[in-house]
Structure 1
Amino acid sequence: MTPRGGEGPPLEIIGGFESTFMPAHDRDIFETTEHDTRWREDLDLLSRSGITRLRYPVRWHRIEESEGVFDWSATDEVLNHLHEHGFRPIIDLVHHTSYPVWLTDGFADARFGAAYLRYAEAFARRYPWVEEYTLFNEPFATLFLCGHEAIWPPYHSGLQGFVDLLVNVLPAVAEAGALYRELLPGARHVWVDTCEFHTGSDASGQRYADMANDRRFLALDAFLGRGYDVDSQLGRDLAPVGGERLLSLPAGTIDVLGLDYYAHCQWNFGVEGGTAPTPTPLPLADQIQQYWQRYGLPCMITETNVRGRTSDRATWLKYVLEQCEEAQARGVVLEGVCWFPVVDSTDWNSLLFRCEGHVDPVGVYWLDEDLERRTSVMSTSYALAAGGVRSGELPAYLLGEPVATWLQGYREQMSHWDWQQPPESDLGSRLPRTTTRMELRIVDAQ
Structure 2
Amino acid sequence: MAGNHNYPPVEVWAGVECTVNRVADHFNDQLLLNGHHHRLDDLEHIAWLGVRTIRYPVLWERTAPKSLAKPDWHWTDQRLSNLKSLGINPIAGLTHHGSGPSYTSLADASFAEGLAQYAGMVARRYPWLTHYTPVNEPLTTARFSGLYGHWYPHKQSPLLFVQMLLNQCKATVLAMKQIRQVQPDALLVQTEDLGQTHSTPELAYQADFENSRRWLTYDLLCGKVNKGHPMYAYFQWLGIPDSEIIFFLENPCPPDILGVNHYLTSERFLDSRTDFYPQHMRGGNGRHAYVDTEAIRIPEVEVAGPYKLIRQVWERYKRPIAITEAHLGCTREEQLRWLHQIWQTAGKLREEGVDIRAVTGWSMLGSYDWDSLLTNIRGHYEPGLFDVRAPQPRPTALAKYIKSLTSGQPIEYPVLDSPGWWQRNDRWIGHCLQPILDNAADEVVLPARGRPILITGATGTLGNAFERICSQRGLSFILLNRQEMDISSAEQVEAAVTKYHPWAIINTAGYVRVEQAESEPEKCFRENVTGAAVLAEVCRKKGIRLLTYSSDLVFDGQATKPYTEKDTVHPQGVYGESKAEAEKQVMGILPSALVIRTSAFFGPWDEHNFLTLFLRSLQNGEPFDVKTNEYISPTYVPDLVHTSLDLLIDGEEGIWHLANQGSISWADFGRTVALQAGFDADMVETWYQKQLKQADTDAKKSTALSSYKLHSMPLLANAISRYVHECTLWKVPVIAL
TM-score, normalised to structure 1, is: 0.85
Q: Does 1:241 align with 2:238?
A: yes
- Which of 641, 646, 650 is 1:427 aligned to? 646
Residue 140 of structure 1, CA deviation: 1.1
Please show how residues 42-441 of structure 1 align to structure 2 within 5 Å.
42-67=42-67, 68-97=69-98, 99-103=100-104, 106-200=105-199, 202-227=200-225, 232=230, 234-243=231-240, 245=242, 247-250=245-248, 251-271=252-272, 272-278=290-296, 279=298, 280-359=302-381, 361-368=382-389, 372-388=392-408, 395-396=415-416, 398=418, 418=450, 425-427=644-646, 429=712
Asked if structure 2 preserves the Cα contact closer than 8 Å seen for 1:307 and 1:403, the reply is no
Does the 8 Å CA contact 2:337/2:420 hold for their aligned counterparts? no
Identity over aligned residues, as a percent?
A: 25
User: Which residue of structure 1 lines up, in the alignment, with residue 516 of structure 2?
Assistant: none
2:176 and 2:78 mapped to 1: Cα distance? 25
In 2: Cα distance, 1:390 partner to 1:238 partner = 51
Contact 1:314–1:378, Cα closer than 8 Å, also in 2: yes
Letter in 2 for 1:427: D
Q: Which amino acid is the alignment partner of residue 62 of structure 2?
A: R
Change (3 A) 1:293 1:420: farther
Q: CA deviation at 1:151?
A: 1.1
- For residues 301 and 375 of structure 1, the distance between their equivalents in structure 2, rounded to whole angstroms, comes to 22
Kindly indicate whether the alpha-carbon contact (under 8 Å) linking 2:414 and 2:450 is maintained by their aligned counterparts in 1: no
Counterparts in 2 of 1:164 and 1:38: CA distance versus 1, 3 Å: same
Tell me how far apart the structure 1 counterparts of residues 201 and 19 of structure 2 sit (CA, whole Å).
38
Q: Is the 8 A contact 2:322 2:356 kept in 1?
A: yes
Distance 1:281 1:273 in 2: 17
Deviations 1:412-435 (A, max 9, x none): 9x99985755576242745899xx
Output the CA distance in 2 between the equivalents of 1:33 and 1:430.
17
Conserved? CA contact 1:15–1:338, under 8 Å: yes
Q: Using the alignment, how far apart are the partners of 2:229 and 2:88 within structure 1?
A: 47
Q: CA deviation at 1:182?
A: 2.2
Matching residue's letter, 1:46: I
Checking the alignment, whether the CA contact within 8 Å between 1:12 and 1:335 is kept in structure 2 is yes
Deviations 1:165-193 (A, max 9, x none): 12333223212222222211122111111
Q: CA deviation at 1:366?
A: 2.2
- 2:61/2:101 contact within 8 Å kept: yes
- For structure 2, the residue ranges without an aligned partner over 5 or more in a row are 1-5, 273-289, 430-442, 454-474, 476-503, 505-640, 648-711, 723-737
In structure 2, do the counterparts of structure 1 residues 100 and 331 end up closer, same or farther at CA, with 3 Å as the change threshold?
same
CA distance in 1 between partners of 2:257 and 2:451 (Å): 35
SS of aligned partner of 2:190: strand
Paired with 2:38 and 2:49, the residues of 1 have a C-alpha distance of 21
Instruction: Quote the offset at 1:352 in angstroms.
Output: 1.1
Q: Following the alignment from structure 2 to structure 1, what is the Cα–Cα distance between the partners of residues 267 and 410?
A: 26
Q: Sort the Cα spacing of 1:46 and 1:132 in 2 relative to 1 into closer, same or farther, 3 A.
A: same
Contact 1:94–1:136 (Cα < 8 Å) also in 2: yes
Which SS does the other structure have where 1:318 is aligned?
helix
Which digits, 9 at most, give the CA deviation of each residue in 1:385-433, with x for residues without a partner? 2223577988516578799679679x99x99985755576242745899
Q: By how many angstroms is 1:100 displaced?
A: 1.2
Superposed displacement of residue 291, structure 1? 0.5
Aligned residues: 420
Distance 1:119 1:406 in 2: 49
Distance in 1 (CA, whole Å) between partners of 2:64 and 2:367 is 24
- Bigger Rg, structure 1 or 2: 2
Contact kept, 8 Å, 1:55 with 1:91, in 2: the verdict is: yes
Which residue identity lines up with residue 255 of structure 1 in the other structure? D
**In 1, are the aligned partners of 2:333 and 2:415 still within 8 Å (CA)?**
no
Taking a change above 3 Å as real, the CA distance of residues 196 and 123 of structure 1, as seen in their structure-2 partners, is same
Secondary structure at the aligned position of 1:164 is classed as helix
* Distance in 1 between residues matched to 2:88 and 2:260, nearest whole Å: 22
Mapped to 1, the partners of 2:183 and 2:331 lie a distance apart of: 41
Give the corresponding residue for 2:19.
20
CA distance in 2, matches of 1:375, 1:159: 43
Q: Distance in 2 between matches of 1:273 and 1:236?
A: 26
Over the aligned positions, Cα root-mean-square deviation in angstroms equals 3.2
8 Å contact from structure 2 (residues 21, 151) kept in 1: no
Segments of 5+ residues of structure 1 without an aligned counterpart are: 1-6, 437-446
Letter in 2 for 1:216: R
CA 1:22/1:226 → structure 2, altered by over 3 Å: closer, same or farther? closer
How far, CA to CA, are the matches of 1:301 and 1:231 in structure 2?
Answer: 26
The separation in 2 between residues aligned to 1:389 and 1:192, in whole angstroms, is 29
Q: In the alignment, residue 333 of structure 1 is paired with which amino acid?
A: D
Pair 1:244–1:281, CA change in 2 (3 A): farther
- In 1, Cα distance between equivalents of 2:406 and 2:714: 27
1:117-176: CA deviation from partner (whole Å, max 9, x where unpaired)? 221110000000012111211111111211111111111223212111123332232122
Change (3 A) 1:399 1:21: same
1:4 maps to: none
C-alpha distance in 2, partners of 1:341/1:386? 17
Structure with the bigger RCO (C-alpha within 8 Å, sep 6+) is 1
Structure 1 residues 430, 330: CA separation in 2 closer, same or farther (over 3 Å shift)?
farther
Please name the residue that 2:572 is paired with.
none
Change (3 A) 1:390 1:9: farther
- Offset of residue 224 of structure 1: 1.9
Q: What is the distance in 2 between the residues matched to 1:431 and 1:397?
A: 30
